[in-house]
Amino acid sequence: MEEIDQQAARWDRWAPHYDGLSTGRQPQRDAVRLRELAPKGPALELGCGTGLVALELARTGTPVTGLDASPKMVDAFNAKAKADGLWARAVIGDMTRIELDQRFALVFVVASTLFCLTSQEEQVACFKAAADHLQKGGVFIVEARVPDWHPETRQAVSVRELSDTHAHWSAMLHDPVTQVVRSQEVRADENGIRLLPMVTRYAWPAELDLMARLTGMRLLTRHGDWEGGSFNPSSTRHLSVYTLDPSDAR
């Protein structure tokens, strides 16, 4: 299990580059879909980063709180919210031990950020923390990739960009026993080399469903994409909606 300060230091390094490396995301679409899937009320994003999705959700009129371990991510989030006059705030915190004196109609974690918790124990703790902060009838939404690592694959290198003046690649080491992938995003150009580290622990949808059951929640629905497409064997991502089990008395 990693210490929260290790995670924070790693994501502090990502913070200045995060938005620029997230150009394939569609935050407006994601925010609209989240609003459709959840009852009306305040929302909490876990691992909010710089607020790409959370701030778009705030633009719909939803009060939003973001939580992230990285002080630099939180600073970027709050600077954007202030500049745009949005009803949103971010706080520094650990998504395995949420310490907010509030319950939410929607708690969500997107972009496989749940996998930044590097042990099964931590991921279960995140589900429990989310359940503890849901209003009655509220939902916990997890959006993540479907793992595609094969047990025999222990390492990989992927070239992202290449030109006469720079190269951008990813190097990854995979431990199939712990389901942990350690990676570096590397960019080399005339100014030097930039390293952006990441450590993740992937989990299959069925494993997440069990985590939900262990923490008093149940799967309400699952989609294969943000547009509401069906989840099937060819799906590469999933959007899973959990809610408190009717028998849960919290």
Q: What is the pLDDT of residues 76-120, one digit of tens each?
A: 999 999 999 999 999 999 999 999 999 999 999 999 999 999 999
What are phi and psi for residue 190, nearest 5 degrees? -65, -15
SS3 152: coil
Tokens at residue 216, please? 């008093």
- On the question of pLDDT at 226 being above 90, the answer is yes
Chain position carrying tokens 């989609």: 223
- pTM (2 d.p.): 0.94
CA gap 190, 203 in Å, rounded: 38
- Beta strands 217-223 and 237-244 are antiparallel
Cβ distance 64 to 45 under 8 Å? yes
2 — pLDDT class (breaks 50, 70, 90): low
Residue 51 structure tokens: 């607020």
Q: Which band of pLDDT confidence, cut at 50, 70 and 90, is reported for residue 140?
A: very high
3-state secondary structure 181-240: EEEEEEEEECCEEEEEEEEEECCCHHHHHHHHHHCCEEEEEEECCCCCCECCCCCCEEEE
| CATH architecture, domain 4-147+202-244 | 3-Layer(aba) Sandwich (3.40)
On the question of pLDDT at 1 being above 70, the answer is no
Per the prediction, the chain carries an average pLDDT of 95
Please answer whether residues 27 and 52 qualify as being in contact, where contact means their C-beta atoms are separated by less than 8 angstroms: yes
Residue 38 has pLDDT above 60, yes or no: yes
**Closest among 90, 127, 94, 93 to 108, alpha carbons compared:** 127
Specify the range with the lowest mean pLDDT, choosing from 21-35, 171-185, 208-222: 21-35
Provide the residue ranges of all domains of the chain, joining segments of one domain with +.
Answer: 4-147+202-244, 155-200
Q: What is the pLDDT of residue 150?
A: 87
Per cent of the chain over pLDDT 70 is: 98
What architecture (CATH level 2) is domain 155-200?
Single Sheet (2.20)
Supply the pLDDT for residue 250: 67
**Per-residue confidence band for 123, with pLDDT thresholds at 50, 70 and 90:** very high
Cα–Cα dist 51/81, whole Å: 8
